[in-house]
Amino acid sequence: MDFSDKIKRSVNNLPTLPTIYSQLSEAMEDPLATNDKIAKIISSDQSSAFKVLKVANSPLYGLHGKIDSISQALMYLGYNEVKNIVFALSIMNIFSKDKNVKGLRPVDLWAHSIGVGVITRSIGSAIGEKNIENYFLAGIFHDVGKLIFLEFAANEYQKVVEIVKEKNCRIKDAEKEIFGIDHAEAGRVLAEKWRLPQTIQEVIYYHHNGEKSKDASKLLASVHLGNILAHALGFGFAGDNIIAQPNPTIWSTLNLQKGSLLKLKDKLIDDYSHTIKLMLT
């Protein structure tokens, strides 16, 4: 049996995006939609609304408790950032949290992904990128392929985790051995089904390479580095312990100042611990 086909078929059985998200996207594309109307859509789902407020007030955005309504969140963070938070939160609900494989818990995987989101966003601001509203989401979403494996092939994924332990290899290599494809490819299938923005699709597929052929994308380079840093800082657990060497091309893409990574460390640890508490509980 060909697993890559099985995975692709299974992805088609995953629910479509939650209605709140599609309503939201639609309303945001409508030039006549008012702030109030958009706030109402979010508020119609109380648990989403509550979490959006918590995340909007997290140190990640530096607005410390100033935001007490959804319309304020929309005003201060912008439509897309709020939409991204709603999106990230709904994805977390789609995948079951109890598909445990011995040695890899979904909650640790989410912690890793949130960690990569936090770091990616900080790298975006550190390099002075103006448009960083997709950075957090791209980081959170880069490993979605692993959730697909857990959801649809938990027994085989157990074998993957055992191979990693035995060989001390990267999980993507063990996935290729068992499934014929790795989580980057599995994730892309889902990203296409959900018609995620092209940039996010590319991050999912190319996050191990850090570059896409000759395109130097700052977002992609930031997620690539964010993933490596999350491993180095021990943020969550993504299935293996290997800290990979970054693709050498990212340094000229990002043009980070000397010492930036060490300087960011304390803020990253602080933002990470706050954000996982908000999003995972």
Partner 1 sequence: MGVKTIDVSEITVGMELAEPIKNMHGQMLIPEGTTLAENHIRLLKTWGIKAATVNSEEGTTQVESASNLDFETMAILKKRINWIPLNEHENDIYNLAVQSISKQTKI
- Assess 125 for contact with partner 1 (CB under 8 A): no
- Assess 258 for contact with partner 1 (CB under 8 A): yes
State the Cα–Cα distance between residues 89 and 260, nearest whole angstrom.
30
Q: Which long-range contacts (CB under 8 A, 24 or more apart) does 61-69 make?
A: 69/39
State the Cα–Cα distance between residues 171 and 189, nearest whole angstrom.
19
Supply the angle between the helices 35-43 and 79-94 in degrees, to the nearest 10: 20
Question: Is residue 194 classed exposed, middle or buried when 0-12, 13-18 and 19+ CB atoms within 10 A define those classes?
Answer: middle
- Assess 246 for contact with partner 1 (CB under 8 A): yes
C-alpha count within 13 angstroms, C-beta hemisphere, residue 95: 28
Q: Which is nearer to partner 1, 183 or 231 (CB)?
A: 231
Residues 131-170 that bind partner 1 (CB under 8 A): 168
Q: Nearest approach, Cβ of 233 to partner 1 (angstroms)?
A: 5
Q: Nearest approach, Cβ of 225 to partner 1 (angstroms)?
A: 8
- Which residue has tokens 């060909």? 2
Window contacting partner 1 (CB under 8 A); options: 12-20, 42-50, 106-114, 251-259: 251-259
Q: Nearest approach, Cβ of 246 to partner 1 (angstroms)?
A: 7
Q: Nearest approach, Cβ of 81 to partner 1 (angstroms)?
A: 27
Enumerate binding residues for partner 1 (CB under 8 A).
168, 228-229, 231-234, 241-246, 248, 251, 256, 258-262, 265
